[in-house]
Amino acid sequence: MIPVLYLIEHLRQGGSERYVAELARSGPAMGIDPHVGCFAGGGIFFEEIRGQGIPVTVFPLKSLYHPSTLLEAFRISRYIRQNGIRILHTFQPNANVLGSLVARLSGIPVVISRRNLGDFGGLGSPRLAWLQKHVTNRLSSRVLANSRAVRNSSIAGEGFPEGKVVLIYNGLDTERFSPVQDSLSFRKSLGIPEGAFVFGIASGFRPVKGVDVVIRSFSRAASYCPDAILVIAGDGPERRDLELLVRSLGLDSRVRFLGVRADMESVYPAFDVFVLCSHSEGFSNAILEAMGMGIPVIASSVGGNVEMVEDGVRGYLVEPGDEVGLSDRMLRLFFAPESARAMGKECRDWVERTNHRSLVHQQFSTLYRELLNV
């Protein structure tokens, strides 16, 4: 077993956080002894990982530029030494920066992660963007991209040598996320009427995710499909604004907010169609999970979405922010349920071919062993 430390900023709701939880859980299958470090305790994935007996250590980080960061760097280095960690694998900007420095000082390889399209302005700090592009990138042993779009963006926008950037698609537990024959019990548990047609979202409530676009598009379609409802799983800083938008559009009775759900495998079966119209997307775990459940997808034609959703085959692609186009595709699937089911089957078949976790486990195992020359 190769001891690997996964370092991430926090383990609350989010795609990267869910991904780290999956990697840690799958460690033994990859020949990995997983350890997890984070800068803040708590969160649904923090509890999930710890509940499985996997060591989770909090290295409190007030700010990357706070003097106490030196102490946390020392604590991470000591943890690496005491636990025989041989590879550090980091996720998210602050973890990428601090982890790269600590790994170099500790004499072990570090894999940093790129899971977006290189929009460093979105980091909220020019200084952090500079550190990412000019320090972390040089110290990294490998860069892990989770889609071709992300890999191409990293090479073209950041100047990485092609051989340094490794593409491994996000893996999926295809037993946990698998089609169900009867969705009635799942709908009952969510209080959804038996005969409703359900458009569903699972997303953080941040501007980049375009949840407001989906709500307005649903409003356009609503009068043509009176049996349709919109179910939204997730939370975030835009929660109040989105609730006000629903109220202003007169959709209170037709839009359900579920909050954060750790059991999305019990939520997706209630959906007839999954919708996500992000303005930017590296590779969406939510889309992947919905596809694994055999649900057709309507998504924006950005980033890794284009690799996942073949337009007209596994669902539809629309331009980001295109409320008219999104509404039209929602109506197409509402009025063609047989076509929607056929697309859902294509989704499941694609996931089995491309993202089955046994395939991804082998790719990770190969990556780590190549770094160690074993």
Clarify whether residues 164 and 37 are in a common domain: yes
Provide the whole-model pTM. 0.79
Clarify whether residues 239 and 110 are in a common domain: no
Angle between helices 323-334 and 337-354 (to 10 degrees): 100
Q: Does 341 map to a domain?
A: yes
Question: Alpha-carbon distance 84 to 248, whole Å?
Answer: 57
Q: Which tens digits make up the pLDDT trace of 86-108?
A: 999 999 888 998 999 999 999 99
Clarify whether residues 116 and 10 are in a common domain: yes
Banded pLDDT at 121 (limits 50, 70, 90): very low
Q: Does 179 map to a domain?
A: no
- Contacts of residue 203, defined as CB under 8 A and 6 or more positions apart, other chains included, come to 209, 211, 232, 233, 234, 276, 278, 286
Clarify whether residues 94 and 208 are in a common domain: no
Clarify whether residues 254 and 283 are in a common domain: yes
Q: What is the CATH number of the domain that holds 193?
A: 3.40.50.2000
Q: Which tens digits make up the pLDDT trace of 360-372?
A: 888 999 999 999 9
Clarify whether residues 219 and 145 are in a common domain: no
For residue 187, give both structure tokens: 């709908």
Q: Which tens digits make up the pLDDT trace of 163-197?
A: 889 999 888 889 999 999 888 899 999 999 888 99
Banded pLDDT at 374 (limits 50, 70, 90): low
User: Would you give the DSSP letter of residue 329?
Assistant: H
Domain that holds residue 220: 184-354
Question: Alpha-carbon distance 366 to 222, whole Å?
Answer: 49
Mean pLDDT within 139-156: 88
pLDDT attached to residue 120: 44
Please choose, from the candidates 262, 214, 204, the residue with its C-alpha nearest in 3D space to the C-alpha of residue 237: 204
The yes-or-no verdict on residue 134 having pLDDT over 60 is: yes
Clarify whether residues 164 and 188 are in a common domain: no
User: φ, ψ for residue 296 (rounded to 5)?
Assistant: -65, 155
Q: Does 176 map to a domain?
A: no
Q: Which amino acid is at 269?
A: P
Clarify whether residues 28 and 155 are in a common domain: yes
Please choose, from the candidates 310, 374, 367, the residue with its C-alpha nearest in 3D space to the C-alpha of residue 142: 367
Clarify whether residues 331 and 238 are in a common domain: yes
Clarify whether residues 161 and 296 are in a common domain: no
- Contacts of residue 143, defined as CB under 8 A and 6 or more positions apart, other chains included, come to 111, 112, 113, 114, 137, 154, 160, 164, 165, 166
Total number of domains constituting the chain? 2
Q: Which tens digits make up the pLDDT trace of 306-328?
A: 999 999 999 999 999 999 999 99
pLDDT attached to residue 33: 96
Clarify whether residues 200 and 349 are in a common domain: yes
Clarify whether residues 24 and 160 are in a common domain: yes
